[in-house]
Structure 1
Amino acid sequence: MERMADLPQPRPSVAGIPAYVAGRPPTPREGVTTFKLSSNELPYPPLPGVLEAATAAAAAMNRYPDMGNTELYAALADRLGVEVANLAAGTGSTAVIYQLLSAYCGPGAEVVHPWRSFEAYPIAIAAAGATAVGVPLTADGRHDLDAMLAAVTDRTAVLILCTPNNPTGPALSHTEVAAVLDRIPGRVLVILDEAYREFVRSDDPVDGVALLGKHPNLTLTRTFSKAYGLAGLRVGYAVAAEPIAAAVRAVGLPFGVSAPAQAAAVASLAAEVALAERVDRVVAERDRVVAGLAAAGYDVPDPQGNFVWLELGDTTAGFATAADEVGLMVRPFTAPGTNRGCRVTIGETDANTRFLDLARRLD
């Protein structure tokens, strides 16, 4: 190839975008059943009726999907008690966050977010041409809300809250989020990332829809990837005031959510009883794992998602290697700074038991 220097160049900020590190699959090991506990996937098959709905929709793959997400929006509006105009769908809640930042940020804008938190935040912020302002978590893996509010300046366009926080696990309370919204300027878009909301079992869970009426600068982002088990189909959505939802739809990829994904999401919403049962099973396993870790001497932040967090510092890489050797793939976070450790998904019962055995042995 010649004349490489003459090629078009991306924006300078693109070169600094960090790579997203996905959870790796487990290493195949002869005679050992391996488990992937690195991506917070649900260990169960699709909910009743979901596979059939997705398969039927796939039969028309020669046609474009419904760009208006008509059935999905109608089902969500009915379930949430909002108007269709308050909804905007995308290929997972991550894509919706990208769309929000694309619509509300640009060069010179700042986005305040917790750190360590979801790895896609700095990537999405840089892709929008904005500047990330990461605010360190507290020692117990929670948002430092006072510090986050103190980081808001005239340049702040967006503030992101992640509840429960990925990867550390604690959830914000309704009281805490309401207090943030009361204190932050109305011109700042507040994104409440609720990817794991179905797993929350706290005394004061966030009711995001109730907050929307009083705080039109709030946007909720949710997904079908976690509790609903549709990680492979990529469908998420925003709930927001009409102008914000319209802006998200305006910058979205045309025909982004596939027909099978839309059909699967609608069918999943109809399987509410089965969904509640499987989420309860995950929460029960989470409680068992936390009790086992506590008995082994681990200080685990209050987990409200479908995962637990081990703050391991310099031993993080060694713990992940030891887990791989016994057929478990966990998600290590080894970058310099605070909150170095392993996030471990609550998976199959056998996987969770093997993880506890390893944790006891390495303590």
Structure 2
Amino acid sequence: MTDWPALSVLDLVPVREGGTLPEAYAATVELAQAAERLGYKRFWVAEHHAMDGVAGGAASVVLAHIGNATSTIRIGSGGIMLPNHTPFQIAEQFGTLDALFPGRIDLGLGRAPGAGPELQRALRKNLNQAAEHFPQDVLELRALITGAVDLPIRATPGYGANVEFWMLGSSLFGAQLAARLGMPYAFAAHFAPDHLDQALELYRRDFQPSEQLERPHVMVAMNVFAAETDDEAVLLASSQQQSFVRLRSGSPGKLPPPIANYLDSLPPPSRAMLEHLGQAGAVGSRETVKEKIAGFVERTGADEIIVSGAAFDPEARIRSLELTTEALAG
């Protein structure tokens, strides 16, 4: 395989056990700078709230920090959970980002509120009800920025901004909406691969061209951990695997250090869960990573691959990005 899809990076701004928020933000900046140097197309951060191990809750603020430390790589949200906000607020925030970093801003939008009653109270939102209004809110947000609809109020900053809109999803709903609105579509296979094939088929089949996009455009997320050897990569990946298991068992926390032979220590249900997620992953040496990514691209026909994967050692994460580009170049 010679024609590889564009590569991008998804970073959740992980906070390590024993680490601090300033260290997490510094590590994210260094990772973004490395991604830019290595030729990755985009660097996205995701909105999560009330999680000790994820520091990207104020996504637009984090993006401003990253934008100020980089110069060419596109930066954006993977994604903004729109039910948590008003379209007007997001138009102002991303209009500001576009003014600061012209032509570099992606706005990926998600519907899942992902919040229990405590967070709903803290955000002063009925998130389940807000999620029902997601399609209308996407249209309103797009109109606030593009001016395609004459609204009674203008977002300043926001109106006229050169923001690239993306629809995010892990189910068929996002695929249907992205197709109907003629938006590029990013599928979160790295943590929810169940509906991957059906969602991509639906999106491509029902896609309606728009002013933004003439034909379907798909980006798929993978967990990628590359190291000099397969064993080193498996060890590197064990930090995120521990985080996944803790999250699914209701006890999330900061990113733990790696553990040798972690999978062997797990009960069958937890091991099966990680192996299921592994279908959208590439863990190993250059050769292994190249083989796994090639198989995933063949399965999905993705136009872009966005690589995720939190590592306890920030330098090892940067090295993983380097080895991934070397694998595909070779």
TM-score (normalised: structure 1): 0.33
Q: Which structure shows the bigger proportion of residues in helix conformation?
A: 2
Q: Which has the higher contact order (CA 8 A, sep 6+)?
A: 1
Of the two, which has the highest radius of gyration? Answer: 1
